[in-house]
Amino acid sequence: MSLKVMLADDEPFTLEGLSKLIDWEAEGCEIVKKASDGKEAYDYLLDNEVDIIFADIQMPKMTGLELLQKIREEEISDAFFVIVSGFNDFKYAQQALRYGSMDYVLKPIVRDNLIEILAKASVLKDIELKEMKDSAGMKRAYMIQNLMMLLGGKFEDRHLEYIKTNLRLSGKIRFIHVAFDSISALDEIDEGELSSLKNKLYDCCRTYLGASDDHCIKDIPGYEEEYEIGFIYCDYMSKEREIDEHEFMNRLSTALKREDFKIPIVLLIGKAVDDIAKISYSYSSASTLRSFKNFRDRKDVYFYEEEMQVNEKKVALCKKELDSLIAAIEQNDKTGIDTYVDMLFDEMETASSVDETINMNTNYLLFRLIHLAVEQDETVNQEEVMLYISEHVFDSSIARGSRLHTKQFAYEYADYLISLRKNVSRGVLAEVEKEIADNYMENLTLRELSAKYFVNSSYLGQIFKKKYGMSFKDYLSNYRVQVAAGMLLKSDKKISQIAEEVGYKDTDYFINRFIALKGCTPSKYRKNAGSIG
């Protein structure tokens, strides 16, 4: 980025000579204004930004020193300022420095001296930009930290006050999950590509939000495996675009489709709250939609109120059929599941409001099944069971919420309960550890391993994380880095070759993972003979 330069001198010959003294463009500069006096320079600065000003000390209407003093006191410009003077007088130089002049040079300006000043200004400008970027990054990180506290519902007054002071809010507020909607597709992608997809999704959401991009959150607590983005929606966002909230969400969905992520993306819209202090309720409702959307027709945007609503007509709860179905699932009775699902749907289809009846009975079934799973294994919490339900990918030819869909879900849930009862963690985790040790360089996935050892993939993921304190993917990645560290010390192979041999196709991603675990680059680790990390 070139420096914008202003030249101010009442002598036309001097002004023109200075503009021709060097090749300004070659020095990374652009002369944007030549002012014939201090007042003209001042007026220009009222409406325009410049990076560096060269001003003669003696000019009519307003001297160079008066211009410098005025723009600093009125905070009109923080441009670097250079006083150009024919007077070798320390008093003038002292005044210039007092008001923040970067330099004080005597006429005539020497070419090399001018180039040196510009180089100094360029370096200082880069430092300023970096400091501004670092400051903005720290502010954003602190903002997200406070938002996380509110999302979890465990915040103090200082967290709430910071958000209310620094985040633009309005009457209706919602939490929005923006998520990749195919767990099976994500399992087939390596970590580097997944990280890139997540960053791209994050950037797209921030671009759509525009000036409100500080509402966007990249890492949702508890869902690091889902590669989701979240943001706090406020109704001013749609009002300023003169559209309603449905259109606002649909346009975001359309914008994301245009980016061709190759994996479907879904928006889960939490229920509206009237105060940011209640955002945890909206966050929880958006999370609930993750599970319940599997029993709804496939859509790009789900609103909590619309998916969970029950209208004022009488809606029947088919408790007798539901209790019988739940018992059949608990007993892994496939024949009983078929029978009671048919009985349930026969009964629901006689109701005056079929859709609402199916919704309410489905909700009741899911909540009962969640409770049943927790009873089977006390180490499993409700959120983990909800995650299991949300991760189930059913045959796209089966209508969601239909008889066949409900039967298939019931069969798989019965198998899930068996996994919980057997408490398979002891034996299977040892096998998974051995698989990683033997095949870490391959594209191992939790889904493939769960199929190999006849364990539900979601449950395996849960017990793996409980034992090791990290996800399967993070454990595999860390293992690969440890192997690579040994190879760095014991061989002279190129870093790109080592990266490939331990399972990383993307060398840059490997280096980033290595730095995250070892605290230095692979080259530095090798150079220091492994003394770091």
Q: How many CA atoms lie within 13 A of 239 on its CB side?
A: 9
Mean pLDDT of 346-356: 79
* Residue bearing the bigger pLDDT, 398 or 53: 53
Q: Band of the pLDDT at 395, cuts 50, 70, 90?
A: very low
Say what the pLDDT of residue 310 is: 46
Q: What are the helix (H) ranges across 241-300?
A: 245-258, 279-292
* Residue bearing the bigger pLDDT, 352 or 424: 352
Query: Residue 14 corresponds to which tokens in the numbers above?
Result: 């001097």
Question: SS3 of 188, please?
Answer: coil
Q: Band of the pLDDT at 464, cuts 50, 70, 90?
A: confident
* Residue bearing the bigger pLDDT, 460 or 235: 235
* Residue bearing the bigger pLDDT, 394 or 30: 30
Lay out the sheet containing 265-269: strands in order across.
216-217, 229-234, 173-180, 265-269, 301-303
Cα–Cα nearest to 10, from 49, 36, 44 = 36
Say what the pLDDT of residue 159 is: 87
Report cis status (omega within 30 of 0) of the bond before 522: no
Identify the helix (H) or strand (E) that includes residue 56.
strand 52-56
Q: Band of the pLDDT at 498, cuts 50, 70, 90?
A: very high
CATH architecture of the domain 167-308 equals 2-Layer Sandwich (3.30)
Say what the pLDDT of residue 509 is: 83
Mean pLDDT of 9-35: 92
pLDDT at residue 94 greater than cutoff 90: no
**Of 70-84, 119-133, 344-358, 452-466, which has the strongest mean pLDDT?**
70-84
**Contact (Cβ atoms closer than 8 angstroms) between residue 453 and residue 475:** no
Say what the pLDDT of residue 139 is: 74
* Residue bearing the bigger pLDDT, 517 or 205: 205
Q: Which of 34-38, 57-61, 224-228, 243-247 has the lowest mean pLDDT?
A: 224-228
Mean pLDDT of 124-146: 73
- High-pLDDT (> 70) share of the chain, %: 82
Pairwise CA distance, residues 306 & 101, whole Å: 63
Say what the pLDDT of residue 32 is: 95
Say what the pLDDT of residue 291 is: 67
CA dihedral 301, 306, 307, 308 (to 10 degrees): 150
pLDDT at residue 434 greater than cutoff 80: yes
pLDDT at residue 123 greater than cutoff 60: yes
Say what the pLDDT of residue 146 is: 85
Place of tokens 């002071």: 165
User: Does pTM surpass 0.75?
Assistant: no
Mean residue pLDDT across the chain: 82
pLDDT tens, 233-269? 999 999 999 999 999 999 999 999 998 887 889 999 9
- CATH superfamily label, 425-527: Homeodomain-like (1.10.10.60)
Say what the pLDDT of residue 270 is: 92
* Residue bearing the bigger pLDDT, 330 or 1: 330
Cα–Cα nearest to 344, from 332, 361, 327, 331 = 361
pLDDT at residue 397 greater than cutoff 60: no
Mean pLDDT of 509-516: 85
DSSP lists the bridge partners of residue 180 as 265
CATH 3.40.50.2300 given to domain 3-128 = yes
- High-pLDDT (> 90) share of the chain, %: 29
Pairwise CA distance, residues 64 & 53, whole Å: 10
- The DSSP output letter for 273 is B
Say what the pLDDT of residue 224 is: 42
pLDDT at residue 383 greater than cutoff 70: no
Pairwise CA distance, residues 502 & 518, whole Å: 16
Mean pLDDT of 3-10: 94
**Contact (Cβ atoms closer than 8 angstroms) between residue 384 and residue 465:** no
Q: Band of the pLDDT at 404, cuts 50, 70, 90?
A: confident
